[in-house]
Amino acid sequence: MTDRPVRPAPVVLTPCADGPILVRGEVEIRDGAGQIVPRRRATVALCRCGASAIKPFCDGSHKAIGFRTDDEGSRPEEPTT
């Protein structure tokens, strides 16, 4: 029997329609100055609307500003009439 190196779990990024990008997995997040931003949770939501007061994390402000994304793949299908 050989000892195989243990592969870390993959990092998964999930864009949310009209909202943040969810990040699951071990990843180092740095700010614009290159400093590590401490994580308090295993899954974090990164702001992509620019309105968050706690960047780089989402604080829910995207809803208040009516942020919309164009990534149709992450948007549930709307019923046709």
Residue selected from 61, 69, 74, 75 as contacting ligand FES according to rule CB under 6 A: 61
Q: In angstroms, rounded to a whole number, what is the distance separating the alpha carbons of residues 47 and 54?
A: 9
Residue selected from 15, 24, 39, 51 as contacting ligand FES according to rule CB under 6 A: 51
Q: In angstroms, rounded to a whole number, what is the distance separating the alpha carbons of residues 16 and 67?
A: 11
End-to-end Cα separation, the chain, in angstroms: 61
Site string for ligand FES, 1-40 (x = CB under 6 A): ------------------xx--------------------
Structure tokens at 73: 């793949």
- Binding residues (CB under 6 A) for ligand FES: these are 19-20, 47-49, 51-52, 58-62
